[in-house]
């Protein structure tokens, strides 16, 4: 692999990924932040408003919602939500979704 010179242009995302890989940083924490951003962008502002907590533990995403009606509605589409989130994340991180 060719080393990049310091003055060469590089996309910020590529630079961060390179930094994380080279320094063997823990990706769990980064995935925790990324999954929150992906959840909010995929689910939209209406659902974001009712999301009180979001936690990724192993391969399970725990989502705490302040609306029981919304929780019930989302429970019918769990597989689709998981598929969309994983697709947006670019990898299979979530295999189970728990709505609380």
pLDDT in tens, 49-91: 999 999 999 999 999 999 999 999 999 999 999 999 999 999 9
Q: How far, in Å, CA of 22 to CA of 11, rounded?
A: 16
pLDDT of res. 2 = 54
Q: How confident is the model at residue 7 (pLDDT cuts 50, 70, 90)?
A: low
- Count of CA atoms in the C-beta half-sphere (13 A) of 47: 19
pLDDT of res. 23 = 64
Q: Classify burial at 35, counting beta carbons within 10 Å of its beta carbon; exposed 0-12, middle 13-18, buried 19 or more.
A: buried
Cβ neighbours of 95 (radius 10 Å): 11
């Amino acid at each position: 692999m060719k080393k990049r010179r310091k003055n060469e242009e590089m996309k910020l995302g590529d630079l961060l990924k390179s930094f994380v890989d080279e320094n063997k940083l823990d990706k769990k924490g980064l995935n925790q932040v990324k999954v929150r951003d992906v959840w909010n962008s995929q689910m939209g502002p209406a659902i974001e408003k009712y999301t009180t907590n979001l936690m990724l533990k192993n391969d399970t995403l725990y989502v705490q919602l302040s609306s029981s009606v919304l929780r019930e509605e989302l429970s019918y589409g769990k597989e689709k939500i998981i598929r969309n989130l994983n697709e947006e994340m670019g990898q299979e991180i979530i295999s189970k979704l728990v709505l609380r």
